[in-house]
């Protein structure tokens, strides 16, 4: 529990100073300026007073209860200081000092030493190389941090390893007119880590949204589990940097962590219910709305504009970002027609006209709030000098109190109407400068409403003979297992497969239903078709005999399998890879060129829900080839989804499987099923279940 970190009774600053350009001075000043409700204890070997407070020569001399020691002494002294803190019963040390694991082997050794001291005394370590924490709860008001932006209470909590980025989020949120609830920038995260802080923010009733910056991820399964739980209640917004190869290099020099592929991040976030944003600005714009507005029930936006051009911009951006224009009921249109001025336009987007006054705006908002077809309200307004815009602002603020749907306002104006903007903002309604921003924010909110629904979906199960499959695996050596074993595992999960059996030249089976395919079955042969390891269209026994002999000659000692030759159909690929430190990730794509040359695949983490499977199939670019068109019949999508779920089940049941590829499976027209014709399964080198 991090209560003592975010709600400390007392904070000692070890390395406090009277030099106003030092961090040790800044932290004391921040605590004083922001009226910290607990004790503030500057520690300095010689000074008797710092910023008007009594200073103590050592942490051991501090009288009051100290939950946090904020440490700014040089790195080599830190292990000893942590030991002293341990003796004093300090609960958390916030180590601002840098020069630890991020600086190479010597730093790492120092970090080990301080962690050693901390463990001996049960002191929790925050950092090192960290900026600190803040909690704007007026009962606490702790600013144990060396940065400079004033603290302003809000309902978004900020979590970012990098101090520079944490500050970027905070100060721009504040510029927009919002504040934060809690703030953590935890640097090297040696002990107190992202997941633990996430838990704490998740449990805080006053936090409505969590905004994160992620450079590197540790304990990804724990991250996913927490996010899935928290995201049902609070939106979690994230940006991940180090996306590009060039940036990855910079990240690894910056934090010592390796980047994982960007698409893997997407899969993790998708599974975790975390909303990924492309830019900081988009993320905090959305955070401002999440912190203040209810979550919309769906994607239908009602727009109220008093100028044509900006209204059209909103439509473009809303539709372009996946929202729908709400269709108003006849009742709504009648009420608008009756109450607005004659030049108004009462379809969506409503144009109340430039001359509209406060009552016109009030009526339009009320009508849209009452219309069940509207999920959210977007108001792009200009401020004509010939109407009383201040009154419009007051009306929006007043009406908003009774509105149950999210409202986003865009005021296109200059400093002369600053008070109009303030009036609206102080009613807790986000105001933005650009129509596009407002539209994107609503799109993000609708996306979150979808995520909530998605997180309620249960993992889909597939019946299977788990014990039987385990038995097969346990007998197989590590690495690629035989085709027949692999097909037997699929069969154990009732996956439709092409009949496949081992065959030897000496004794051809007596009954074979032709045509058949002959394949080599060897872990050493990766691209079977490229190397003559597949022979199709074998129609008679004599031809089979000949093919078996030829192939045995080509791959001496390798096993061969004979397989029913399935009719042609659409080829798909389903794969599973157990990503180190993450978990099983499934892949889906069309077979042939779509995957090979065009990399058109989708990824999702197991276990899949039914919805996940459906989305995984539909999200690839080549989906039109599956859903059918003029010359193409629709394929059996349900069979693909069922197969994905079976593979998901196998991934969950059998951790011994490191990777598997069903490549290809042949899908037939709607209702006619699917057949897996080739499969490769790789067994873990060491059995991860033991």
**Of 515, 614, 529, nearest to 568 (Cα)?**
515
56 versus 417: smaller Cβ distance to a copy of itself: 417
In the DSSP assignment, the letter for residue 24 is H
In this chain, which stretch among 218-226, 237-245, 422-430, 682-690 interacts with a copy of itself, using CB under 8 A? 237-245
Question: How far is it, in rounded angstroms, from Cα 130 to Cα 448?
Answer: 31
CB of 507 to a copy of itself, least distance (A): 36
Candidate list 67, 167, 270, 485; residue touching a copy of itself; CB under 8 A: 167
In the DSSP assignment, the letter for residue 56 is B
Candidate list 89, 308, 532, 581; residue touching a copy of itself; CB under 8 A: 308
CB of 269 to a copy of itself, least distance (A): 16
> CA angle at residue 487 from 486 to 493, to 5 degrees?
100
- Residue 150 in contact with a copy of itself, rule: CB under 8 A: yes
For 602, the enclosing helix (H) or strand (E) is strand 601-605
Enumerate residues 169-188 that contact a copy of itself by CB under 8 A.
171-172, 174-175
Which positions from 522 to 551 touch a copy of itself by CB under 8 A, shown as an x/- string?
Answer: --------x---------------------
- Residue 622 in contact with a copy of itself, rule: CB under 8 A: yes
CB of 163 to a copy of itself, least distance (A): 7
**Cβ atoms of 49 and 75 closer than 8 Å:** no
CB of 114 to a copy of itself, least distance (A): 20
**Cβ atoms of 673 and 491 closer than 8 Å:** no
Enumerate residues 197-216 that contact a copy of itself by CB under 8 A.
213, 215
412 versus 619: smaller Cβ distance to a copy of itself: 412
- Residue 309 in contact with a copy of itself, rule: CB under 8 A: yes
- Residue 292 in contact with a copy of itself, rule: CB under 8 A: no
> CA angle at residue 629 from 626 to 633, to 5 degrees?
60
Question: How far is it, in rounded angstroms, from Cα 687 to Cα 118?
Answer: 35
Helix residue ranges, H only, 321-434 = 330-339, 358-370, 389-400, 418-426
- How many angstroms from the chain centroid is the CA of residue 68? 31
Candidate list 6, 10, 13, 26; residue touching a copy of itself; CB under 8 A: 26
Q: To the nearest 10°, report the CA torsion of 251, 253, 254, 256.
A: 90
- Residue 322 in contact with a copy of itself, rule: CB under 8 A: no
In this chain, which stretch among 264-272, 274-282, 547-555, 611-619 interacts with a copy of itself, using CB under 8 A? 274-282
Question: How far is it, in rounded angstroms, from Cα 678 to Cα 486?
Answer: 9
Q: Which residues contact residue 572 at a Cβ distance below 8 angstroms, ignoring those fewer than 6 apart?
A: 588, 589, 590, 591, 626, 640, 664, 665, 666, 667, 674
CB of 64 to a copy of itself, least distance (A): 28
- Residue 162 in contact with a copy of itself, rule: CB under 8 A: yes
In the DSSP assignment, the letter for residue 497 is B
Enumerate residues 325-344 that contact a copy of itself by CB under 8 A.
325
Sort 398 into a burial class: Cβ within 10 Å, 0-12 / 13-18 / 19+. middle
Enumerate residues 459-518 that contact a copy of itself by CB under 8 A.
none
Question: How far is it, in rounded angstroms, from Cα 425 to Cα 409?
Answer: 9
CB of 91 to a copy of itself, least distance (A): 28
Candidate list 463, 467, 597, 685; residue touching a copy of itself; CB under 8 A: 597
18 versus 484: smaller Cβ distance to a copy of itself: 18
Length of the chain: 690
CB of 32 to a copy of itself, least distance (A): 15
Candidate list 320, 372, 532, 581; residue touching a copy of itself; CB under 8 A: 320
For 339, the enclosing helix (H) or strand (E) is helix 330-339
- Residue 299 in contact with a copy of itself, rule: CB under 8 A: no
- Residue 196 in contact with a copy of itself, rule: CB under 8 A: no
233 versus 388: smaller Cβ distance to a copy of itself: 388
> CA angle at residue 684 from 683 to 688, to 5 degrees?
130
306 versus 552: smaller Cβ distance to a copy of itself: 306
305 versus 547: smaller Cβ distance to a copy of itself: 305
Count residues contacting a copy of itself (CB under 8 A)? 79
Alpha carbons within 13 A on the beta-carbon side of 626: 26
- How many angstroms from the chain centroid is the CA of residue 67? 33
- Residue 251 in contact with a copy of itself, rule: CB under 8 A: yes
Give the number of other Cβ atoms within 10 Å of residue 620's Cβ: 20
Candidate list 121, 434, 541, 559; residue touching a copy of itself; CB under 8 A: 434
């Amino acid at each position: 529990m991090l209560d003592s970190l975010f709600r400390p009774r007392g904070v000692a600053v070890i390395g406090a100073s009277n030099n106003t350009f030092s961090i040790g001075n800044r932290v004391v000043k921040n605590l004083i300026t922001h009226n910290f409700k607990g004790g503030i204890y500057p520690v300095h070997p010689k000074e008797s007073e710092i910023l008007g407070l009594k200073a103590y020569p050592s942490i051991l001399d501090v009288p009051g209860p100290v939950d946090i020691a904020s440490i700014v002494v040089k790195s080599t002294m830190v292990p000893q200081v942590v030991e002293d803190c341990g003796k004093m019963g300090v609960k958390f040390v916030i180590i601002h000092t840098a020069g630890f694991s991020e600086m190479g082997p010597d730093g790492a050794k120092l970090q080990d030493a301080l962690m050693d001291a901390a463990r001996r005394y049960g002191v929790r370590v925050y950092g090192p190389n960290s900026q600190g924490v803040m909690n704007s709860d007026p009962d606490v008001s702790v600013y144990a941090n060396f940065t400079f932006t004033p603290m302003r209470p809000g309902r978004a909590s900020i979590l970012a390893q990098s101090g520079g980025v944490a500050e970027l989020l905070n100060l721009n949120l504040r510029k927009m007119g919002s504040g934060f609830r809690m703030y953590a920038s935890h640097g090297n995260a040696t002990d107190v880590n992202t997941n633990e802080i996430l838990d704490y923010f998740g449990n805080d009733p006053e936090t409505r949204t969590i905004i994160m910056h992620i450079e590197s991820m540790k304990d990804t399964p724990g991250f996913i589990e927490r996010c899935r739980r928290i995201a049902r209640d609070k939106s979690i917004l994230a940006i991940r940097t180090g996306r590009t190869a060039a940036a990855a290099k910079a990240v690894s020099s910056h934090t010592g962590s390796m980047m994982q592929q960007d698409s893997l991040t997407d899969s993790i976030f998708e599974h975790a219910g975390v909303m990924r944003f492309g830019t900081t600005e988009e993320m905090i714009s959305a955070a401002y709305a999440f912190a203040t507005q209810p979550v919309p029930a769906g994607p239908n936006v009602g727009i109220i504009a008093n100028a044509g051009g900006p209204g059209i911009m909103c439509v473009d951006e809303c539709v372009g970002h996946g929202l729908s224009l709400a269709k108003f009921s006849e009742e709504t249109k009648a009420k608008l027609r009756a109450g607005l001025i004659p030049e108004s336009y009462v379809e969506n987007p409503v144009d109340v006209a430039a001359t509209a006054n406060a009552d016109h705006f009030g009526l339009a908002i009320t009508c849209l709030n009452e219309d069940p077809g509207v999920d959210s309200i977007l108001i792009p307004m200009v401020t004509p000098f010939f109407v009383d815009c201040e009154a419009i602002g007051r009306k929006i603020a007043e009406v908003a109190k009774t509105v149950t749907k999210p409202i986003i306002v865009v005021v296109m104006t200059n400093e002369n109407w600053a008070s109009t903007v303030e009036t609206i903002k102080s009613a807790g309604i986000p105001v933005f400068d650009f129509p596009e921003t407002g539209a994107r924010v609503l799109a993000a909110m609708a996306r979150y409403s979808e995520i909530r629904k998605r997180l309620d979906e249960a993992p889909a199960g597939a019946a299977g003979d788990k014990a039987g499959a385990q038995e097969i695996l346990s007998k197989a050596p590590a690495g690629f297992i035989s085709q027949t074993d692999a097909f037997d595992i699929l069969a154990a999960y009732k996956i439709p497969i092409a009949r496949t059996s081992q065959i030897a030249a000496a004794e051809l089976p007596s009954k074979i239903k032709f045509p058949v395919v002959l394949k080599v079955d060897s872990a050493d042969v990766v691209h079977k078709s490229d190397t003559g390891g597949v022979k199709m269209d074998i129609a008679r026994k004599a031809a089979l005999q000949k093919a078996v002999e030829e192939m045995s000659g080509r791959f001496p000692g390798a096993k061969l399998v004979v397989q029913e030759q399935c009719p042609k159909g659409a080829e798909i690929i389903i794969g599973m890879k157990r990503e180190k430190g993450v978990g099983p990730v499934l892949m889906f794509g069309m077979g042939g060129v779509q995957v090979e040359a065009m990399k058109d695949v989708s990824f999702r983490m197991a276990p899949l829900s039914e919805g996940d499977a459906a989305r995984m199939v539909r999200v690839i670019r080549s989906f039109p080839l599956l859903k059918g068109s003029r010359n193409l019949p629709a394929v059996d999508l349900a069979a693909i989804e069922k197969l994905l779920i079976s593979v998901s089940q196998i991934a969950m049941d059998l951790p011994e499987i490191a990777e598997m590829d069903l490549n290809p499976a042949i899908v037939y027209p709607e209702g006619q099923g699917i057949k897996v014709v080739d499969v490769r399964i790789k067994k873990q080198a060491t059995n991860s279940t033991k």
